[in-house]
Each structure stands twice: as structure tokens, then as C-alpha cells.
Chain A
Amino acid sequence: GAVVSQHPSRVICKSGTSVKIECRSLDFQATTMFWYRQFPKQSLMLMATSNEGSKATYEQGVEKDKFLINHASLTLSTLTVTSAHPEDSSFYICSGRDRRLNEQFFGPGTRLTVL
């Protein structure tokens, strides 16, 4: 299947700083990318949907000014957690939709720890 990478795989930051997570589709063009958040022993919760070249659509309860999403190209989407706080500590997962295969491919996730 197609490959999606995320960088970094894990990051530790101080409270109040901003953290950027990159999501890349390596061998396909992802016109749509999704960002999820996964708490320990819980399911993935969709945060937002981003389409290349347009603004992201956020799910209810997700602060768009807190979680900035940019999808500037068909192979790259970024999630920036602004002014991070300990409650933002979580596992963030992205996926890209391969329109040709009509399937989503997931990245390996980024573990964010805010001290």
C-alpha cells in the first residue's frame, strides 16, 4: 500500500511553546488529509479534514486557532499545536486519502509530550 510518513515521531516541549508536526504522502498525491488524536487506550478522534489549497474543516470542539493545519501541497500537510499545554499531550496521527485507490493511508503517529 501507499506510505505516509510523520515527523517527528516523538517530541517533548515546554508549556507555552509551539510544535509543528509534518505529514507526508510519499508515493501518492493526497488531495485530502485527516488529522486524528488518540488518547491512551482510547480510539482515534478526528480533529480536522484538510484539502489541498483550502482551509481545513475542524470537528466540533476542536479549536482551530490552537491546532493550525496547513495543506500547501498534494504531499504535505502540517499540524501546528500553538502555545502547547500539558493537556495537549497526546498521540497525533495523520492520514492521506489516495483518490485513485479510494483508500486512506495512515502515518505512524507523533507522540507529543508537553511538560
Chain B
Amino acid sequence: GNSVTQMEGPVTLSEEAFLTINCTYTATGYPSLFWYVQYPGEGLQLLLKATKADDKGSNKGFEATYRKETTSFHLEKGSVQVSDSAVYFCALSINDYKLSFGAGTTVTVRA
């Protein structure tokens, strides 16, 4: 089956620190990969995505590269801000648009 494993949190960082959240997947087929972010009190929002191997998704300073050889899609940001405090979910989808989510990683950025 399809599954996503992501780094457990919570993660606490200082402003301007480097953030990495690891995500690996198993899939029967060729998935599209996503990172979603959930800010406090809000619904999930698509942060970035990649649909084929070696694609790099990027948005708001975040990046993730689809690595087929390591079945990974790690999320990175070079300099986090307090406003980046949220829960981050890695997810995959095969052709049926159903999303399989990782457990979520809570990130707190301190000023």
C-alpha cells in the first residue's frame, strides 16, 4: 500500500535557523508528492508539490526535491520566521487524487 513517514516532532527553532523535516514514502505506482501546512485555527494549505522524480517544489522559501532513488521528499527552509510556526504534513497521491498523509510535524519558531 501507500504510506508516508515523516520526522516526528515537535521541532522548536530560533528565528533564522535552518529547518529540515524528513519525509519518506512507499507507494505502489508513481506518486505525486506534497507538503501541506496547517496554521493554528486554519485548514490545510498546499505548500508545495512535485509530480516526478528530480522535480523541486518551492514556495515561501521552502523547498523539497522528489528523490526517487531514496523515496524521499524532505522539506527545507534556510531561515525560518516566527510566522512559519505550524504543523507540516507530507503527503502522496497516485492517480486517484486520494491523499495519504504523514503524521504531521509541529514546528515552533521562537523570536
Contact = CB atoms under 8 A, between A and B. Distances in A.
B99 A46 contact: yes
B97 A109 contact: no
Given A32-B97, A97-B97, A103 B46 contact: yes
A7 to B, nearest CB: 13
B103 A104 contact: no
A20 B21 CA distance: 36
B43 A107 contact: yes
B43 A46 contact: no
A46 B104 CA distance: 15
A110 to B, nearest CB: 11
Contacts of A45: 101
B35 interface: no
Nearest to B9: A41
A46 B99 CA distance: 8
A17 B42 CA distance: 27
Contact of B46 (A1, A42, A44): A1
Interface residues of B, number: 16
A43 B102 contact: yes
A33 to B, nearest CB: 11
A93 B103 contact: no
| Residue in A42, A44, A107 with the greatest tally of chain B CB atoms within 10 Å | A44
A4 B43 contact: yes
A41 B45 CA distance: 18
A62 to B, nearest CB: 13
Interface in A21-51: 32, 34, 41-46, 49
Nearest to A109: B43
A106 B43 contact: yes
B29 interface: no
Given A34-B98, A46-B98, A108 B41 contact: yes
Contacts of A1: 45-46
A32 B46 CA distance: 17
